[in-house]
Chains A and B, each alone.
Chain A
């Protein structure tokens, strides 16, 4: 009897141990769950930030690069600059960004000695004309201001992103015949021949032209222009600039 009881106690103990181990093992295994899932096809959303951009145009072509060169196509190929001739030299702006903008161009004329060094010679000897139908010109109003070297032009209309550039701001350039006033002559006679050499004080100098274009967003236009350009503008209902203060 005792031996039998001993045997059954042992069996129970073993069974309980196995059960305990099994319970421990199952407890550490995560239950497999089946959940209902569903998914749609891949959806892609593209978005881009708007950019503002502006470039200069010269004689109908948009100037590219960081510091493009002006005046290279003003003279027909094979010819040299002729004093007194009014050359077509149109400078304007093009919208290269993705938002509408207001633009202004600052143009500066001067003389150099043929290198990059500016010289003291009246800039009024470089004559220029502007398109006052489409631009507001600041700096060339009165006769007394004719010797101004710098003029600022504000395009009246907002410039859209449709690809059309502005109308030309600067329309032509001409070097005045007054350059011929400053002259000296030398005569050298040998036999029946006399050689007369005419020299001009301003032979070899160069006409210089700089153009800067600025653009600013059309949204909140009045404050944006005042902040960016420091000018108080008057706008009409279509957003055209009608006055500069």
Chain B
């Protein structure tokens, strides 16, 4: 009798418990997925050529972009201080412009496979000047990748990131 009552009690408890379980509902659903990747290509290689005639009176400089991305380039001519500092010769390409920071900027991007027009530095007066013994004329070159605005237009050489943060990788 006791066993029978226990069984009946368990069955009743199970029935009560099942009544509290929410009915299982199935809803209409659907699912689709897609994925994709796009590669980024960075890097460039530029070749700087300095042609110096035998009398060292000038330096003809041109820069060629061999591979990679289009770049902006600029050049600084460094010489000992003199009244007759080396300067851009009149026969230089007009695409080289010098700004107040002492650099000569090429005003167009240098595309892959193309060279710049020549920058000719006239050193004659400098070499003949009597106010200096040091006659070294050093050319410093810098190049940065062309950057773009949101709409895809080039940012221009004046807005290029010439002094941007660089983290050297080992």
Given known A-B contacts A86-B150, A200-B43, A56 and B28 have beta carbons under 8 A apart: no
Quick check: is A142 within 8 A (CB to CB) of the other chain?
A: no
Is there an interface contact between B28 and A85, defined as CB atoms closer than 8 Å?
Answer: no
* Interface pair A69/B52, CB less than 8 Å apart: no
Is A217's CB under 8 angstroms from B37's CB? no
Q: In the complex, are the beta carbons of B40 and A212 less than 8 A apart?
A: no
- How many chain-B residues does the 8 Å CB contact rule pick out? 47
Q: In the assembled complex, how far is the CB of residue B134 from the closest CB belonging to chain A, in whole angstroms?
A: 21
Cβ-based interface call for A175 (8 A): yes
When the two chains form the complex, which single residue of A80, A205, A212 contacts B33, counting CB atoms closer than 8 Å? A212
> From DSSP, what is the main secondary structure of chain B's interface residues?
strand
One of A72, A183, A207, A224 near B169 (C-beta < 8 A): A183
A14 at the interface (CB under 8 A from B): no
Other-chain contact of A54, B31, B46, B143 (Cβ < 8 Å)? B31
- Residue of A with least CB distance to B73: A196
**Could you tell me if A177 and B161 are in contact, using CB atoms closer than 8 angstroms?**
yes
Cβ of B38 within 8 Å of any chain A Cβ, yes or no, is yes
Q: Is B66 an interface position by the 8 A CB rule? A: yes
- Residue numbers in B under 8 Å from A204 (CB-CB): 39-41
Which of B111-170 touch A at CB < 8 Å?
141, 143, 145, 147-152, 155, 161, 164-170
Residue of B whose beta carbon sits closest to that of A69: B36
Residues of A contacting B41 in the complex (Cβ-Cβ under 8 angstroms): 80-81, 203-204
Is B11 engaged at the interface, CB distance under 8 Å to the other chain? no
Do B147 and A177 touch across chains, with their CB atoms under 8 A apart? Answer: yes
Contacts of A196 on B, CB cut-off 8 Å?
Answer: 45-48, 141, 143
CB within 8 Å: A-B pair count: 179
Query: Is A83 an interface residue when CB atoms closer than 8 A count as contact?
Result: yes
Which residues of B sit under 8 angstroms from A50, Cβ to Cβ? 28
Min CB distance B137 to A, Å, is 14
B167 A213 Cβ-Cβ under 8 A: no
- A interface residue count range (under 10 / 10 to 19 / 20 to 34 / 35 or more): 35 or more
**The stretch of A145-153, A187-195, A237-245 that contacts the partner chain:** A187-195
- Assess whether B27 is in contact with A227, with CB atoms less than 8 Å apart: yes
Which residues of A159-198 are within 8 A (CB) of B? 174-175, 177, 179-184, 192-198
- A99 beta carbon closer than 8 Å to chain B: yes
Contacts of B47 in A (CB 8 A): 193-196
- 17 residue pairs A–B, Cβ–Cβ below 8 Å: A56-B32, A83-B147, A86-B150, A179-B40, A179-B42, A180-B161, A181-B167, A184-B170, A192-B49, A196-B47, A197-B43, A198-B46, A198-B143, A199-B169, A207-B37, A209-B35, A214-B31
Residues of A within 8 A of B (CB): 50-56, 58, 63, 67-72, 74-75, 80-86, 97, 99, 101, 112, 114, 174-175, 177, 179-184, 192-217, 220, 223-224, 227-228
A-B pairs with lowest CB-CB distance, top 8: A70-B36, A71-B36, A86-B150, A200-B42, A52-B28, A206-B37, A217-B28, A224-B27
Q: A67-B34, A205-B39 are in contact. List 19 more A-B contacts (CB 8 A).
A: A54-B30, A56-B32, A81-B41, A84-B147, A85-B149, A99-B28, A112-B37, A180-B147, A192-B50, A197-B45, A200-B42, A203-B42, A206-B39, A208-B35, A209-B37, A210-B34, A212-B31, A213-B33, A227-B27
